[in-house]
Amino acid sequence: MNYYLDRLRRSIALRVARKPRGLELLPPQERKENVWQREGEVLVSRVEGGEKVRELVERSVELLGGFNRIIKMGQSVMIKPNFNRSNPPPASTALDFLEAVILSLKERGAEVMVGECSGPPFVTRRNLEARGVIQLLHRLGVGLVIFNESEWVKVRLGGAYLSEIIMAKSAYKVDTLVYLPNMKTHRKARFSLSLKLAVGFTHPAERMALHEGMLEEKVSEINLAWQPDLIIMDGRKAFVTVGPDEGEVVEPGVIMASGDMVAVDLEALKILMSYKADNRLDLEPAQFPQIKIALERGLGKGQYTLVNK
């Protein structure tokens, strides 16, 4: 069933995705210092409990040093959630989690917007409406940028698997990026965590091309374009089979935060791999291609300190 559905989606997507020409060619953004460190050691927070999600989000970032380390009054902040399709969590971002992060940022004076582009057949607006996202953002007074309805730029990556890639211009220009990945396996890329979230910034034509080979390696190299200032991962529910849109659901009951994509993904992988399930998580965490290439390209660190108190 999935095979035929994928073929249909791909057929529709190929008709929708047309690579634009004459785009501005830009260098990657300068790598930022990860402010979420203690004595030079990368921090990853991990919280769980019965509190409301807003309290969990606040506590996860407070353990790192607090939102004020990156948020200033009037600063533009783009939140990148995960709405690849309109499937419910953990396939997509939970509305209560998205609202909690938005309120935390707005409370500190940030000018918040949400940016997204769904996967094939690239009906982002329809997916967001189906999940209630557009209604939520309207209620909270938050802007929405649908990448496949907006402008693009070409970024020179200089990677071994991707020399350049077309990315959302609005995300390239924003002051601050906050990633909200879910915790889940992925039937083609093994797992979909913070490194994989960058795929959602790429032009539909690029996303189609990514799957023609070396997907896991390419996923990592997309992140050469820029880096998030903060990652907050919702691991209250997770897929431990199939993914990214369906699978066996477990409930780790955690929310994690970090400024390092590799570190937070490694911690999430430990959680996913702790469940006995039929998936492709069959390597040592540092040997998964997404992680290995990210480490080789200097996109994060493999050593970190876990803080949970």
Q: Where are the domains of the chain?
A: 24-307
Residue 7, pLDDT > 70, answer no
DSSP code, position 186: E
Mean pLDDT of the chain: 94
List the helix and strand counts (H, then E) for the chain: 11, 15
CA distance 218 to 268: 20
Residue range 173-196: mean pLDDT, rounded: 97
In tens, the pLDDT along 52-97 reads: 999 999 999 999 999 999 999 999 999 999 999 999 999 999 999 9
- Terminus-to-terminus CA distance in the chain, angstroms? 45
Give, in words, the CATH class of 24-307: alpha beta
In tens, the pLDDT along 257-287 reads: 999 999 999 999 999 999 999 999 999 999 9
Report the predicted TM-score, pTM, of the whole model to 2 decimal places. 0.95
CA distance 34 to 40: 10
